[in-house]
Amino acid sequence: MLKHWLRWLTGLGAAGALVAASATPAVAAAPIAPYFQDTTLAVGSEPATRALLLYANEPTTLSKVSVRYDYRSLANKITVVSEEDGQRCTAPEPGVLVCEEPFDVVLYEEPPLGSGIYRNGLKRVRIGLTEDAQPGDSGDVVVSFQAAGGRSGSYTSRVRVGEGVDLAGGPFTTASAKPGGKFSVPLVVANAGDRTVEGFVAVFDLAYSIRTTDRFSNCRYADDHLVSCQFDEEIPVGTGLAATLKLELARDTYAPTNQSGYAQFMTVADFEDLTKVRKAVGARAATPGSGPKLTLAKTSGATRQADQTDVNPGNDYTGWTIKATGTNGTDLAAIGAALKGTAGTVVTATVGFRNNGPATLDNVSEEYEAATHTDVELPPGTSAVEVPKNCWLRQDSTRTYLCASEMLLVAGKTYTMAFRLRIDKVIPNARGAVRVNAPCECPAGGGFKADIKPANDKAAIVVNAAQSGGGQDDGDGGGGGGGGSLPITGAPTNLIAGLGVLLLVTGAGSYLIARRRNSRFVA
């Protein structure tokens, strides 16, 4: 499960977008999988902040955790020091730092809700350069941890010394199109530093609805989603390059809405640092295009003479707002269940809803919360013995559970979840209910409020006595539809392409929120 989820987040390779993959055992069969991002530093730049991330496939609390940073291969080139107060660190020998976590480390579940993957970051350290460091120097930092009970693991991270540059994105722009319509946006990048940029990568974070039919040979794609493009063009100091991207909105785009897209510009070395984890978990790569090359200017033909890193990452992105015009709404229809059993038996109620379309609901782009919520009211005479992870009892209620959906609800797909119920007493035609678009006191304002057919938002959960010879668990409980469980862990969310999901696995998830709020973020 752990390796599968890392593939889910980093499956496209070039940008870490999501590609469906079959479930596989945990990474190296280890109960805890560590990750420590690679680093490229420029001579004279500020130190980089890094933290060891720990992943597990079950809720985990670690006590007496210590972390060892072994950078002896670069002992005279880099420094590794604690960044946070309360961290007890010692240097038992040159090139080694050992730090103890002051508190227990609790691994919390990562989005999407119900993913079954748990993560936390340990105290941060700063990696800096010494006066002896020179461009071209490179070495490894072996980061290992130990915890009570013999739990341990290690990860080898690369540190390189390069040149400092400053990539800057162009201004934000606006376009418009109807669902299914085409539009164009500018892709603009400039060199705001004092050294020529020698090659760079544009990584795209586009809403689910934004598609492309182009297949440039220097770009990578997930189906019809643009993921990234790599350029070998030079950008001299004080100059910029531009191209036009031809895109379109999917026919199932909700309208009217504003759909957002972003492109972040990275040096080749910074891109390699961010995406190495994809290779480490054996993730599938995005598909390169077979068409002509996307160019921003005439290619110089020069090769990269030294690794480069962006020393001012706060201005390295551009973005677009696409106004989806017209009217294209969504009908979410509740799915109930018919259950049969005798007193004392446990049955499964498979309930949820179907997105009848015509539009997909997408909260990934902006709110980053569940697209809707569903109430599940248990029939009288029953009690819950197993409840989905994305559900919890409503306040002041003992029988009604509020369940969060995924952030993306694709038109034509069914979303169900399983409640295991014990029949305490057989009551003829005992009726509970499933109510989609239930109210929720959530930060983004709660559930979906614009359903185009609210009459089918409610369905019944009915319990009756078992037929002769019955009384066993009835499996799916007679629920309607044939979708996956809630939340989805495979298709159709395997079409989401974007930088945001990769940053979640690499511990920089706050980047996505910070950028959308126009805040500065330094990775």
Query: Which residue range is the domain that position 269 belongs to?
Result: 166-327+495-516
Two tokens, residue 508: 């920089």
pLDDT of residue 56: 84
Domains contained in the chain, number: 3
Amino acid letter, residue 35: Y
Distance separating alpha carbons of residues 81 and 99, to the nearest angstrom: 10
Same domain membership, residue 419 and residue 337? yes
Same domain membership, residue 431 and residue 333? yes
* Residue 16 domain flag: no
Q: What are 7-11's contacts with CB under 8 Å, separation 24+?
A: 7/281, 7/282, 7/283, 7/284, 8/489, 8/494, 8/501, 9/501, 9/502, 9/504, 9/505, 10/275, 10/277, 10/278, 10/281, 10/283, 10/501, 10/502, 10/505, 11/278, 11/283, 11/284, 11/494
pTM of the model: 0.78
Same domain membership, residue 140 and residue 269? no
Same domain membership, residue 113 and residue 216? no
Query: CA distances (Å), 478 to each of 70, 391, 460, in order?
Result: 57, 20, 11
pLDDT tens for 398-438 read 999 999 998 889 999 999 999 999 999 999 999 999 999 99
Same domain membership, residue 172 and residue 318? yes
Last residue of a domain, one of 108, 130, 162: 162
Distance separating alpha carbons of residues 389 and 486, to the nearest angstrom: 9
Residues of the chain with pLDDT under 50: 1-30, 281-283, 298-305, 469-523
Same domain membership, residue 220 and residue 116? no
pLDDT of residue 456: 97
Regarding beta strands 78-82 and 151-165, do their DSSP bridges make them parallel or antiparallel, or are they unpaired? unpaired
pLDDT of residue 19: 28
CATH code of 439's domain: 2.60.40.290
Say if residue 248 is exposed, middle or buried (CB neighbours under 10 Å; 0-12, 13-18, 19+): buried
* Residue 25 domain flag: no
Same domain membership, residue 334 and residue 320? no
* Residue 40 domain flag: yes
Same domain membership, residue 350 and residue 244? no
Same domain membership, residue 296 and residue 361? no
CATH code of 511's domain: 2.60.40.10
Same domain membership, residue 464 and residue 389? yes
pLDDT of residue 113: 55
Same domain membership, residue 349 and residue 460? yes
* Residue 24 domain flag: no
pLDDT of residue 519: 26
Same domain membership, residue 337 and residue 322? no
Cβ–Cβ contacts within 10 Å for residue 13, how many? 22
pLDDT tens for 98-122 read 999 989 999 887 665 556 678 888 9
* Residue 2 domain flag: no
